[in-house]
Amino acid sequence: METSRFTLPFLLLSFSFFLSLSAQMTGNFKCGGTPSTCISLVGYSSKNATTLRNIQTLFAVKNLRTILGANNLPLNTSRDQRVNPDQVIRIPIRCSCSNGTGISNRVPEYTVKKGDDLYFIASQLFGGLTRDQRIAEVNKIPDPALIQPGQKFWIPLPCSCDKLNGQDVVHYAHVVKQGSSLGEIAALFGTDNTTLAQLNGISGDPQLLADLPLNVPLRACSSSVRNDSLDASMLLSNNSYLFTANNCVKCSCDASKNWTLSCQPSSELKPSNWTTCPPSRCEGAESLFLGNTTSGSCGPRTCAYAGYSNSSILTTLSPTCPDSAGPAGSGNYASTFRSSFNIVMVLIQCALLCLYLL
Ligand SMILES: *[C@@H]1O[C@H](CO)[C@@H](O)[C@H](O)[C@H]1NC(C)=O
Ligand SMILES: *[C@@H]1O[C@H](CO)[C@@H](O)[C@H](O)[C@H]1NC(C)=O
Ligand SMILES: *[C@@H]1O[C@H](CO)[C@@H](O)[C@H](O)[C@H]1NC(C)=O
Ligand SMILES: *[C@@H]1O[C@H](CO)[C@@H](O)[C@H](O)[C@H]1NC(C)=O
Ligand SMILES: *[C@@H]1O[C@H](CO)[C@@H](O)[C@H](O)[C@H]1NC(C)=O
Ligand SMILES: *[C@@H]1O[C@H](CO)[C@@H](O)[C@H](O)[C@H]1NC(C)=O
Ligand SMILES: *[C@@H]1O[C@H](CO)[C@@H](O)[C@H](O)[C@H]1NC(C)=O
Ligand SMILES: *[C@@H]1O[C@H](CO)[C@@H](O)[C@H](O)[C@H]1NC(C)=O
Ligand SMILES: *[C@@H]1O[C@H](CO)[C@@H](O)[C@H](O)[C@H]1NC(C)=O
Ligand SMILES: *[C@@H]1O[C@H](CO)[C@@H](O)[C@H](O)[C@H]1NC(C)=O
């Protein structure tokens, strides 16, 4: 079998790699704390030329626009758009965290074809994003050498929902290329080698193993989305977009816009669930709409997206004005109203009293 080809020096070499890279060798991503779900990214490159359609099918992505948005490709890009070998396509996946590990939740599913083995499926078809042992483990395959055409497996993809030093990040599974270093990868994704080493449990100055996924934290744009919104966990990394609020709002993240999420009303897609998109007037500044900017005593402020509910699109003026700005708060209007109401009541009571006295 395979092992008969190993020589002793090779075994020793593998063993020392295993020691220094043990955490990374598993290809698992840490995802700690309470069980949670989120959207995470994987970077896929096909060994042969392919199309966006094939990639969408392979990863069981419901809407092509999800892939287009993650790669900042125009919405009218064709499904049959060619993807060259080694071109990297970012694919958003739903991540599920439990027992300290993040993993795609029982998707995508793959049906074994004639001539496939688990190693080919993991390292070739899925571009090294998973490992044959992981597929065997999660599918409880008794003998990985004996798989039959027609059998269905789910492919565990690595992912994470963890914050990084308290900050929201989008985790990206980057398949390491032969000969690349932590420093190079860090520079490519706007992070640093210490962060990468820590996150992936790598110590020393190792030679990275090719064709294994590395957990890369991508900075996310800050947003004003409320934690009770139906899209509360939405996060975007640089140079990507998505549609939300039943397709009525398009949000994008552009690092050059101060890492702030930018959202506009959109009519590019048919609304889902709503027959028409509700208006997106700005709460507290009714002459403004979502995406408009105004300048006032607090400097320039934008009518920012704050999420959505079953019936409406939520907005907020951002950044928020400091409270010290004076009598503009709604609390003040209410108390003004209440005191004038009291004066009216006193006058009425006085008038009644006067009538009575007469
Ligand atoms: C997509 O739309 C843009 C304009 O928004 C247009 O310039 C371009 O030609 C279109 N591409 C395709 C493939 O239709
Ligand atoms: C998590 O760990 C518990 C107990 O250690 C185990 O019963 C459960 O199957 C594990 N879940 C997963 C998804 O591995
Ligand atoms: C790439 O194409 C070659 C030739 O058709 C085929 O043998 C190989 O299995 C393909 N690889 C993948 C990952 O599909
Ligand atoms: C990070 O990079 C610096 C210089 O580029 C190097 O000295 C250091 O050893 C690297 N650290 C790790 C953990 O790779
Ligand atoms: C949601 O945000 C509000 C304030 O905006 C805060 O009081 C509340 O604790 C938050 N809830 C959760 C579940 O984080
Ligand atoms: C953000 O993405 C753009 C377009 O790919 C790129 O030019 C820019 O360098 C990126 N900025 C950061 C800080 O990553
Ligand atoms: C950029 O955003 C930060 C907070 O995210 C804010 O404090 C700062 O004022 C912003 N800068 C500009 C120029 O808008
Ligand atoms: C919108 O409709 C889809 C099915 O078309 C459903 O899965 C989803 O839960 C609905 N969303 C809301 C917020 O009602
Ligand atoms: C405000 O936003 C609406 C909706 O996007 C847009 O039609 C309008 O032109 C904007 N007004 C200004 C002054 O920017
Ligand atoms: C929103 O819609 C969902 C599904 O249609 C429903 O279960 C939920 O009760 C609704 N929530 C509100 C606040 O109306």
> Within a domain: residue 142?
no
Q: What is the pLDDT of residue 72?
A: 98
Note the pTM of the prediction, 2 decimals.
Answer: 0.83
Identity (one letter) of the amino acid at 193? N
Q: Measured from the CB, is residue 292 less than 6 Å from ligand 6?
A: no
Residues 78 and 177 in one domain: yes
The residues lining ligand 7, judged by C-beta closer than 6 Å to any ligand atom, are 222, 258
More confident site: 15 or 169: 169
Beta bridge partners of 242: 251
Q: Is residue 307 part of a domain?
A: yes
The atom number, within ligand 6, closest to the CA of 189 reads 14
Contact call for residues 277 and 292 (beta carbons, < 8 A): no
Q: What is the DSSP string of 163-177?
A: -BTTB-EEEEEEEPP
More confident residue, 15 or 239: 239
Closest Cα to atom 9, ligand 1: which residue?
Answer: 76
Task: Please name the residue that has the structure tokens 């992912």.
Answer: 159
Query: Are 311 and 177 in a shared domain?
Result: no
* Domain count along the chain: 3
Same domain? For 302 and 281 the reply is yes
Q: How many Å apart are CA 81 and CA 56, to the nearest integer?
A: 12
Do 34 and 97 share a domain, yes or no? yes
Same structural domain, 179 and 252: no
| Residue 147 maps to a domain | no
| Domain-embedded: residue 275 | yes
Q: Using the mean position of ligand 7's atoms as its centre, give its distance from the Cα of residue 335 in Å.
A: 33
Whole-angstrom distance, CA of residue 42 vs CA of residue 161: 13
With CA atoms as reference, report the closest residue to 171 among 32, 7, 268: 32
Same domain for 281 and 182, yes or no, is no
Classify residue 117: in a domain, yes or no.
no
Residues 265, 206 share a domain: no
67 with 172, same domain: the answer is yes
**Residue 306 token pair:** 């704050």
pLDDT tens-digit profile of 239-286? Answer: 999 999 999 999 999 999 999 999 999 999 999 999 999 998 988 788
* Alpha carbons 209 and 108: distance in angstroms, whole number: 25
Q: Give the closest residue to 122 by CA, choosing from 114, 134, 133, 130.
A: 130
Does residue 64 share a domain with residue 31? yes
Structure-model confidence comparison of residues 328 and 91, the more confident one: 91
Closest atom, ligand 1, to C-alpha of 75: 1
Percent of the chain at pLDDT above 90? 66
What is the C-alpha to C-alpha distance for residues 187 and 128, in angstroms, rounded to an integer?
22
Q: Both 184 and 63 in a single domain?
A: yes
**Atom of ligand 3 lying closest to residue 115 CA:** 9
Q: Is residue 347 part of a domain?
A: yes
Query: Are 199 and 260 within one domain?
Result: no
Question: Per residue in 97-135, pLDDT tens?
Answer: 988 999 998 999 999 999 999 999 999 999 999 999 999
* Count of positions (residues) in the chain: 358
Nearest CA to ligand 3 atom 4: 48
Residue 222 · residue 260 · CB < 8 Å: yes
* Of residues 42, 46, 28, the one with CA closest to residue 173: 42
Say if residue 36 is in the same domain as residue 88: yes
Tell me the Ramachandran region of residue 211: left when phi exceeds 0, alpha when psi lies from -120 to 50, beta otherwise: left
Range of the domain at 267: 240-318
CA distance 255 to 313: 25
Instruction: Report strand pairing: 89-98 vs 213-219.
Output: unpaired
Has residue 74 been placed in a domain?
yes
Site to substitute for ligand 8 among 62, 63, 272, most atoms within 8 A of C-beta: 272
